[in-house]
A and B are shown apart, each in its own frame.
Chain A
């Protein structure tokens, strides 16, 4: 079975902390994505990567950065967490023109 694994299901951090959200896929997909989801706002794309060490900004990249050092792993970094980054974060992966596989999500609370 294909798998996209997000390192934490729930995370609580303090304002100003540096936060790492990790995502690992076991399908050898070249494309990986980070979305955030807030009530009533659907899925919004933060960053995506189409290859190792490659990254592209999505629709809401401000306050975030990403890292893709290995094909299977895509990390989302909040350099200095703020309360408005409290959200559900979803990682996904796919090959070109195939369906997206999503992780279970990380509910991040920034206090």
Chain B
């Protein structure tokens, strides 16, 4: 199973870039990496997904090195509303057991 490991928490300030790294040493060849954001009392919502190198959308960027054993979610110029828990998930190519890691609690300060 591709178990993931993330930092428990990170603090940042408005306008800064936040980078969260997730370790997934046992990732299989055809697995994808997906990141979710969760606010209190809500279900997680999808942010970004990638397989290798770099993916960028209107919300974030995802950097995946060649060995794919880790990935880094980058949130540019965070605001107070980006305070949330961020989860990485290895989306299995085979089988459907989608297991989350502990998540990273990001606190954005004014």
Selected contact of A99 from candidates B46, B87, B99, CB within 8 Å: B46
User: Is B59 located at the chain interface by the 8 A CB criterion?
Assistant: no
Q: List 17 A-B contacts (CB under 8 A).
A: A4-B43, A33-B98, A41-B102, A42-B100, A43-B103, A45-B98, A45-B99, A56-B97, A90-B43, A97-B32, A97-B93, A99-B49, A100-B34, A100-B46, A100-B98, A102-B44, A107-B41
Return the chain B residue nearest A49 by Cβ.
B96
- Contacts of A92 on B, CB cut-off 8 Å? 43
Indicate if the CB atoms of B43 and A48 lie closer than 8 Å: no
How many chain B residues touch A (Cβ–Cβ < 8 Å)?
Answer: 22
- Contacts of A97 on B, CB cut-off 8 Å? 32, 91, 93
**Interchain CA distance A44-B99 in the complex, whole Å:** 7
**Interchain CA distance A43-B44 in the complex, whole Å:** 10
Chain A contacts with B in 46-103, Cβ cutoff 8 A: 48, 50, 56, 58-59, 90, 92, 94, 96-97, 99-103
CB within 8 Å of B: which residues of A?
A: 4, 31, 33, 35, 41-45, 48, 50, 56, 58-59, 90, 92, 94, 96-97, 99-105, 107
- Contacts of A58 on B, CB cut-off 8 Å? 97, 99
